[in-house]
Amino acid sequence: MMNEMQHLDQKLQQMDHKINQMSQNLENRINSAISERIDLNCAVFGNPKPQVKWTYEDNDLNELKELAFPFKFSEDNQTLTLEYYNYCFFGDYKCQASNRFGGPITKTFKVISHLKPETILYVAKKFDSYSEIECFYRGWPEPRVKLMNSNGEEINFSNGMSFPAKFDFVFSAKANISNDNGKYSCEASNEHGETTSYLEVFDQFPETAPRIYRFFFYFESLSVYFLPIESKYEQKAIIVSNIKKCKLVIQKIERDADNSISEEMKVLVLDRESFNFRYTHLLIPTRNSIFKLNSIYKIKAAILTSKGMGEFSDWYTYITPHVCGQNVSFMHDFVSFISHEEYEGWQKSVPKNFSCKSLISTSHNESICVALTNENQITYYDGVDENHPKLEKNETTGEWPCSTRNQLFFTYHTDEESKGFEIRFMLKSKMDELKNDFSYCY
């Protein structure tokens, strides 16, 4: 009897091992539309029940949760759901299954989207006798592209960088042009449509007042635009190099009961080493000794060229990063929160059992949106406190869910020592503006 049981157990082990090997290295190709829900099914059988691990572009998906990656697993981990697919998550998804008798076996899902092309044309570099323009374009299948001058003649170009799978399936084309006035175009087409963007180049600095705009996504800085922002398909650029300095007038708003403006006014003159010249604007870093945390400033700017000082811009209200525990009462475009004053890009930590909470409000009658991060430690509420509904991402809200009122509250707690966080908030109207730009995945 014992020999029969052992023989049966051996047969079961062999059968389980064979079942685990039957689906080795299967590959599926998934064509999906933007905002569509996708279910990737990795049904696998075995005894003991196989363990399933998921990766995206060979990165463990569990480690990508902090990036607001829009996915969830079924209870048995055999189905991965992309809740609102977009082009940022184009690429290879793999499930790997194994138990003590064998594996891992792998099933690959190649997820792609067929998209109409988008393009943006800009000045990349300026040299003594010529400038380099670059057209960023995306779409799938990869678009055909043409660069043309103001006479309608095609320009020879070289292929620049391309990210066809991991990031944003963005491609680029580069060409050299003379340092003169001119208008250029970039046309991209595939089976789903055609798009053309334009770039007008000037060799004279405009005699108009600059405009200050907050450059928000990649680091804290102010952009002083000296050319109008028309649309992503109609760009302008200056290729002169006679900008000497930028003059800033800064007034701090003291947050007393009346939110009155202080008497203190600073005038700062920045030389070329203190800002970056970007052909359409100057980029001025704000994480420095000029601007303090938890503060609000009014700023205006003028640009000094070889022809003299230009006009001042209108006043711009800049809200510096706030430390969790502080509140923002008059958000008017963007604001970021950090976990603690020593937060410096993940270099220092918060202690065990650390908690804080903050309220963001705006006097504008519109919603406040947030890029959800650290969702296991931070809870967001659609209102003034924890008694209001939680704010969560779903198929409708996408990665930037918005409040239904002009207030948003969040709490943070960590049981263990943590690197802390940085959270970015923006008004719904500003988010809609950015959605119309040629955006990149993060």
Range of the domain at 251: 242-319
pLDDT at 95 over 90: yes
pLDDT at 89 over 70: yes
Instruction: Clarify whether residues 62 and 158 are in a common domain.
Output: no
Instruction: Clarify whether residues 162 and 65 are in a common domain.
Output: no
Instruction: Clarify whether residues 314 and 329 are in a common domain.
Output: no
Positive or negative, the CA dihedral 55, 57, 60, 63 is negative
Among 54, 78, 113, the domain boundary falls at 113
Instruction: Clarify whether residues 380 and 402 are in a common domain.
Output: yes
Distance between CA 153 and CA 151 in Å, rounded?
Answer: 5
pLDDT at 43 over 60: yes
Q: Which of 138-142, 167-171, 256-260, 425-429 is the most confident on average?
A: 425-429
Which residues on adjacent β-strands are paired with residue 270?
246
User: Taking a C-beta distance cutoff of 8 angstroms, is the pair 139, 90 a contact?
Assistant: no
Query: In the structure, how many helices (H) and strands (E) does the chain have?
Result: 2, 33
In a domain, 208, yes or no: no
In a domain, 426, yes or no: yes
In a domain, 375, yes or no: yes
Q: Comparing 346 with 37, which gets the higher pLDDT?
A: 37
In a domain, 219, yes or no: no
Instruction: Clarify whether residues 155 and 196 are in a common domain.
Output: yes
Instruction: List pLDDT tens digits, range 400-422.
Output: 789 999 999 999 999 988 888 88
Q: What value does the mean pLDDT take over residues 221-232?
A: 84
In a domain, 233, yes or no: no
Instruction: Clarify whether residues 94 and 128 are in a common domain.
Output: no
Task: Provide the CB-side half-sphere exposure for 197 (13 A, CA).
Answer: 25
pLDDT at 9 over 70: no
In a domain, 45, yes or no: yes
In a domain, 132, yes or no: yes
**Count of domains in the chain?**
4
Structure tokens at 196: 């053309």
- The continuous run of DSSP H or E covering 3 comes out as helix 2-22
Bridging pattern class, strands 334-338 and 378-381: unpaired
pLDDT value at position 432? 76
Among 202, 230, 265, the domain boundary falls at 202
In a domain, 185, yes or no: yes
Among 148, 173, 202, the domain boundary falls at 202
Quick check: bond before 50 cis, omega within 30? no
- The continuous run of DSSP H or E covering 88 comes out as none
Q: Comparing 35 with 97, which gets the higher pLDDT?
A: 97
CATH number at residue 139: 2.60.40.10
Mean pLDDT of the chain: 81
Instruction: Clarify whether residues 119 and 50 are in a common domain.
Output: no
Instruction: Clarify whether residues 334 and 308 are in a common domain.
Output: no
Instruction: Clarify whether residues 296 and 348 are in a common domain.
Output: no
Which residues on adjacent β-strands are paired with residue 418?
350
Instruction: List pLDDT tens digits, range 240-290.
Output: 777 889 999 999 887 655 556 666 788 999 998 888 888 988 988 887 778
Owner of token pair 């689906």:
23
Q: What value does the mean pLDDT take over residues 175-199?
A: 92
Instruction: Clarify whether residues 309 and 328 are in a common domain.
Output: no
Bridging pattern class, strands 316-319 and 322-323: unpaired
Owner of token pair 């969560």:
392
Distance between CA 323 and CA 69 in Å, rounded?
Answer: 25
Query: Which stretches does DSSP call E strand in 242-295?
Result: 243-253, 261-271, 276-277, 281-285
Structure tokens at 155: 């320009």
CATH number at residue 314: 2.60.40
Instruction: Clarify whether residues 332 and 308 are in a common domain.
Output: no
Q: What value does the mean pLDDT take over residues 33-37?
A: 71
pLDDT value at position 400? 79
CATH number at residue 361: 2.60.120.290
Instruction: Clarify whether residues 65 and 91 are in a common domain.
Output: yes
